[in-house]
Structure 1
């Protein structure tokens, strides 16, 4: 009987000790969880800020590369006509030279024919107060130099550069698809550079492209290249 009582007392005495130990382990686990949660809450804004900074830095770099590429593409609008003619002969399609000029010249000349009647300043000349401006670079400086000393310095409506480059690309794409695809890529870049670089308004670019398509389809239709 005494042994039973002793065992009972020992069991009762050890019970609270085991319970206290479990409570302490639980408290430590809770404290660790709270500390981890607090640490995450404290460091999360810094991590988010760093992520935003890296994302903004990447976006800025991407925009810079895109604008430089468009500036370079727009620079190609000057040699694109002779290069297109050279490509025509180098691909063995010199017999289509007359058709080439019939497609390229009318839309380009039509753009300049409107100049005496529709005279507007280019966007870059009237948007100095706008916050967004194309980034200055050596390519842009060269483009602006050529615009001032080679062109009329006024805005042509529609864009003759877009009209001529796209007309060349369309004809070469029909005659030599691989080479034409390259010229089409450049023509799209010229159109994008004309607008993004603020050399032309969007309506100038769109109408110039429209004239090129109309000239291409019209010449092919009357030459019998398009059936019906």
Structure 2
């Protein structure tokens, strides 16, 4: 079993313990337990795949699905929004951004809105593309090291939903409803979220944590495409705030989580 696969099992164990310690309704607790056991079983099956050929490609890609599974599992921890937390996050955005707050200018910049929405959407293919860049730089061993950073950076952010429960700013700020009329890509993002998201806010931002982790992993593994991933990660982080998918605090914390895991990753030999 690869270390990256073991980390997924470890996350499942932690999520199980959290579900038992929190005062969750019985149906929600059972969904977490069942999903964690199911994910663990899939990881064990994936770990049995040979590293070569088509099976090896599938094994290299599977952790991207484990990330999505962790996100969905964490959604079952949500009970009710913390309105005081939401109010504080909103105040921080207005205090820090001031006149640069998107509410004051974004609706008048449809081209920029479209660009940022495309960047936000690109985080989904970014993970497998980062895996491919890692593989091209160092084969299967580099892929394992890549997921050793990317999975825990994202999954840690998702797990925090057990304690930090809030709605995303786009659900709290009525002016954002106008954005779909100004960008078809905004419509696409909203559709993706309506189909695959639990629609709650993750603090730290999983989008930011994942994008920054991918960029750091690819750069540390010596992939030639590292500058492209660095630029994309930066634009994705900006898009999370400007598009009101996340508060500023969420995105900053997401980048910090990725950097923290990167430091640990380098310490245990991920470079």
Q: TM-score range by the shorter chain?
A: 0.5 to 0.7
Post-superposition offset of 1:132: 9.2
Corresponding position of 1:145: 191
Corresponding position of 1:76: 122
Q: Does 1:159 align with 2:223?
A: no
Q: Does 1:184 align with 2:252?
A: no
TM-score (norm 1): 0.66
Matched ranges for 1:186-225 at <5 A: 186-223=232-269, 225=271
Corresponding residue pairs, total: 167
Residue by residue over 1:28-64, the C-alpha shift from the partner in whole angstroms, topping out at 9 and shown as x without a partner, is xxxxxxxxxxxxxxxxxxxxxxxxxxxxxxx999933
Structure 1 residue runs of 5 or longer lacking an equivalent are 1-58
Corresponding position of 2:169: 123
Post-superposition offset of 1:180: 1.0
TM-score (norm 2): 0.56
Q: Does 1:174 align with 2:215?
A: no
Q: In structure 2, do the counterparts of structure 1 residues 142 and 132 end up closer, same or farther at CA, with 3 Å as the change threshold?
A: closer
Post-superposition offset of 1:119: 1.4
Q: In structure 2, do the counterparts of structure 1 residues 76 and 192 end up closer, same or farther at CA, with 3 Å as the change threshold?
A: same
Maintained 8 Å contact 2:107/2:182: no
Q: In structure 2, do the counterparts of structure 1 residues 135 and 190 end up closer, same or farther at CA, with 3 Å as the change threshold?
A: farther
Structure 2 residue runs of 5 or longer lacking an equivalent are 1-104
SS at match of 1:156: coil
Maintained 8 Å contact 2:165/2:201: yes
Between the aligned partners of 2:123 and 2:220, the Cα distance in structure 1 is 20
Q: In structure 2, do the counterparts of structure 1 residues 131 and 149 end up closer, same or farther at CA, with 3 Å as the change threshold?
A: closer
Q: Does 1:101 align with 2:147?
A: yes
